[in-house]
Structure formats: structure tokens, C-alpha cells
Structure 1
Amino acid sequence: MNVSVAVARKGPPKPADSVSRIGSNLAPHEMRDPFDIGEALTALAGSGDPVTVYSGILDPMLARIESVDPELPHFVFDFTGSALPPGGPATFVATIGGSAKLQFELDSDWSTLPGQPHLVPADFPEACLVLNRRSARRVETPVGGNYSATFNLSNKQYELPLYDFSQGGVGLRATPEQCFGLSVGKKLMGVRLELGPALVVVADLEVRLLRPFRTFLLGEQVQIGCSFASISMQMQQTLERFVTTGLPERRMVKR
């Protein structure tokens, strides 16, 4: 399958973007397949999400992943605006798609590329820890129900099926053609979310994930993961009540 999905890359990371290490009291799973590791690194390179670097007793440093070559396997860090770690082991932590935390360790002299003092090449880690950060219960939408997201973007109207939702966001599904104009980081304003016959929510969303996949019945599809860009206490309580018990009457809740 060859699906091209546009990604809006974020700017250089700021100190506030630092991500903490996975706590020893948590239970992440280990990812060792080079293909899966390459996919995770490629997602970070595409989005420009920050990577926090812990090296010895130094304060955390920030980097991004500039490029990934899964064939070698090899990738390149971009330390623009930040110091380089000293030679030796370092721990790297990042979030992917707003729903998972990725952590891995590398041991290197952190030599830069010739003539490019901010770019540092590295080999794939042998393993990564992955912690699913979805704490909110997610509800899968039933087949045949009225669950959709309707919004306007660049003078184009979108109406996409909703496949799950939670207090933190929603998951949409689309064909590659329907995704034209969407990209990671894109803000979707005034989205009308039909959550079945009982609830309509109007909210602002941010696209956090675009993942191509293929189904037997529908062919090529793209999973679109969106988080609520801002959510009021009223909306959060309404969604919590709906997710856990359902609502008896149809109502409109705005952001």
C-alpha cells in the first residue's frame, strides 16, 4: 500500500516541551521489532515532536528526529538550539500521537555530521519501552449508528465516520482522498460530533495521528486520531457520563 499523508512539522522544541522518563512504578511493554521501532521514529520525524534527552546528572536536553533510514537501520537527531549530550549512555523519551510514551537508550560518542554541528547520527536502539497513556475509557461506535464528525476546513466540508471516542478525544476513519488537507497538528474548529442518537458535541479538535491501514471490505483507509484542543468542565462531565452510562435524551453541548 502506498498512501501519502501530509504532516505539518512542529518548530524547534522549547524547555516546556520536556517529557519525563517512564516511572519505575508503571508497566510499559517492550518493542524490539526493528520495523516497529522504525515506524515510531519515522512518526516522530514527521511530526517534529520533541525528544527529551537524559544524560548522567545533566539537565534534560531537547532534540528532534531529523530523518530516518529504516534500511540501515539508522536515524539522525537534530539538536538545534540545545547542547549535545556528552559521550556515553543517554536515555531518550518522547510522546507519539498524544497517546503513547516512547523511551529508549543509546550509548555513543554523539559525533556530529561533517559541516552540520547540530545533526547527530545514531543507530536504531535494540529495544524501546512503550507506555500507552490512554487513561480514559474509549467507546467503540456500533456499526450502522449515526456517529460522525462534520466540519469545514479551507472552504471544504468534511463528514467522516467516527469509530471511537472518549473524554480526551475521538477517532475518525477516512479514505486517503478524504484526508486531503488534513495533517498532524492541524486544528479543526467547530467540529460537530454526532455521538449516536443521544448526544451532539460541538468542539475544537487537534489532529494527533494519521495512520494508513487496509481493510478487506473498505480497502485503503486512514485512521485519524484527534484530541480535544480545549475542553470545558461541563463537556468533560457530559462525556464522562455518556461514556459510562449513556444519556437518555438528545442534547447539544458546546465547547
Structure 2
Amino acid sequence: MNDTVIAIARKGPPKPADAVTRIGGNLEPHEMRDPFDIGEALTTLAERGDAVTVFPAGYVEPLLARIESVDPELPHFVLDFTGSEMPPSGKLVFVASIGGNAKLQFELEGDWRALDGRPMMVHAEFPESCLVLNRRAARRIETPVGVNYTASFALQGRQYELPLYDFSQSGVGLRATPDQCFGLTVGKKITGARLELGPALTLIADLEVRLLRPFKTFLLGEQVQVGCSFASISMQMQQTLERFVTSGVPERRAAR
């Protein structure tokens, strides 16, 4: 057997905050069946050291793993469950976020026995197909006019409180004047942002700035659209946000 693999410089074990939820039944992912594309997606996860959330049947909480190595020629890959626990025999659902823009999900079934000399690692064949949800295509909810939807955070000694224009399961859109968003750049990490989604929902999440787009409005003059993806959000808060997004919240309207 060819033992050539793609070596991975590993990060530390994943944390509970790294867990992601399964793709909801109300969403419309596309199916990926090309082995080359599947191998490329798995290799991306491995090279980045991103967490893979594993859902065994009957488990209340998911397990967490990372992809240790990928061999696209066999094709197979190796999962490392260090810091979590070994999965039970049977069918597992694997979910991972790729680059903050897409969610990958697939199912595999096996005995999941540990590899010789590597007690927390298991071998897995490539799935025949994967579901891929492009998060940029996820439903976005525009905030009602006249209601307090804001994002508050501190960055490099400066306090920010920016109006929140829209949000989805993958991130939030902010609006600011050029002066208000001074210090924000694409790729900037925001830790512990407080997101006020109206009077009934407050979330604390880590964000990453993905977009800065200047524009003008007749009433407000020069503005900047600040698009942020969720860099870290607890699984409980993610599930709360998912319910909030999919519960039929109305599009932008005047508050009563």
C-alpha cells in the first residue's frame, strides 16, 4: 500500500467553541461528488488545521477532530480525535466550516478502530458525496428600522459601537462613517463583540472583517459597509442564531 500522505503541521486540539452545527433541512446546499473536489476540500481543512465536528447517532454532544493527513490517490484521510474521544462504531455525520464562506457535510460508516501506535487517530475513506452550503448564499435578515441593532467591541484601545444592518448564520453586516470604522481592515480579528439583535437577543462572538465597501447615500453621505464573518461562536449561540434566522423574521421594515 502507498503510505505517501500530505504532512500536516498540526495546531492544538479543537475547543468546544470550534464546533459547528449540521446543515439545516430548510437550507439548500449543493452536492459535490467529484473525488478531486472532495480531496481538495479535505486537504484545505487539513492544511488549515480546522476543526471537524462529528455527530455520532444517539450522542447528545458532538465529538471534535482534525484531519491529520490526506492521501488523494488511495483515496483516504486520517482523523485525529486528540482532546475529544474516539467515535463509536456505526454511521457518523462530519461537518466543517471552510474558510468561513462554506460549510461541508458528509456521512461515513465504519468500525472506527484506532491506528496502530496512534491511539486517537482513525482511517477513513473519501465519502462518495458531500453537501456544500455556500454561506454567502445563506438567508440574510435585514434589521428593522428604528430598533436598536448594534455591534459593540474594543479594538486596539478604541471602543466601537456600530449599527448592525443585516445578519445571517455566517456573519453580520455593519454600517459606519469612514471615521467610525477607522482602524478596521480586511482580515482584522475582533474578539468578544457584543451583538444586540433587537430587544430579545444578545450574542457574544468573535468576528473577522471580510469586506470594507465605501458608498454614498443621499441622507447620510459617505458610508462604509463592513462585512464580518463569525470567527468563533459557541455552538449554543449558533443554534440560537439559526433558529432566529429561520423563524421568519420579517425583512427590513419600520418598527411599530
Settle same-fold status: TM greater than 0.5.
yes
Instruction: Give, in angstroms, the shift of residue 112 of structure 1.
Output: 1.5
* Counterpart mapping for 1:85-234 below 5 A: 85-134=87-136, 135=138, 202-206=183-187, 229=190
1:203 is paired with a residue whose SS is coil
Change (3 A) 1:115 1:9: closer
The question of whether the paired residues in 1 share the 8 Å contact of 2:22 and 2:105 is answered with yes
2:119 is paired with a residue whose SS is coil
Instruction: State how many pairs are aligned.
Output: 166
The question of whether the paired residues in 1 share the 8 Å contact of 2:214 and 2:222 is answered with no
1:107 is paired with a residue whose SS is strand
Determine what percentage of the aligned residue pairs are the same residue: 61
What does the per-residue CA deviation read over 1:127-160, in whole Å, with 9 as the maximum and x for residues that have no partner? 00001112599xxxxxxxxxxxxxxxxxxxxxxx
The question of whether the paired residues in 2 share the 8 Å contact of 1:77 and 1:119 is answered with yes
Change (3 A) 1:168 1:42: farther
Instruction: Give, in angstroms, the shift of residue 245 of structure 1.
Output: 5.5
Amino acid at match of 2:132: V
Please say which of residues 94-103 and 10-19 is displaced more in the overlay: 10-19
- The runs of 5 or more residues in structure 1 that have no matched partner are 1-6, 138-165, 170-194, 207-226, 234-238
Distance 1:99 1:232 in 2: 22
Instruction: Give, in angstroms, the shift of residue 55 of structure 1.
Output: 0.7
What does the per-residue CA deviation read over 1:146-180, in whole Å, with 9 as the maximum and x for residues that have no partner? xxxxxxxxxxxxxxxxxxxx9669xxxxxxxxxxx
Distance 2:33 2:115 in 1: 27
1:229 is paired with a residue whose SS is strand
Instruction: Give, in angstroms, the shift of residue 242 of structure 1.
Output: 4.7
1:83 is paired with a residue whose SS is coil
The question of whether the paired residues in 1 share the 8 Å contact of 2:115 and 2:123 is answered with yes
Q: List 4+ stretches of structure 1 deviating above 3 A.
A: 7-10, 166-169, 199-202, 227-233, 239-251
Distance 1:85 1:243 in 2: 50
Instruction: Give, in angstroms, the shift of residue 117 of structure 1.
Output: 0.6
The question of whether the paired residues in 2 share the 8 Å contact of 1:136 and 1:167 is answered with no
Cα-Cα RMSD: 3.6
Distance 1:205 1:136 in 2: 23
TM-score w.r.t. length of structure 2: 0.55
Instruction: Give, in angstroms, the shift of residue 38 of structure 1.
Output: 0.5
**Alignment of 1:36 onto 2:17:** no
Please say which of residues 58-67 and 9-18 is displaced more in the overlay: 9-18
Residue of structure 2 equivalent to 1:68: 70
- The runs of 5 or more residues in structure 2 that have no matched partner are 1-7, 141-170, 196-210, 227-256
The question of whether the paired residues in 2 share the 8 Å contact of 1:136 and 1:168 is answered with no
Residue of structure 1 equivalent to 2:49: 48
Amino acid at match of 2:65: A
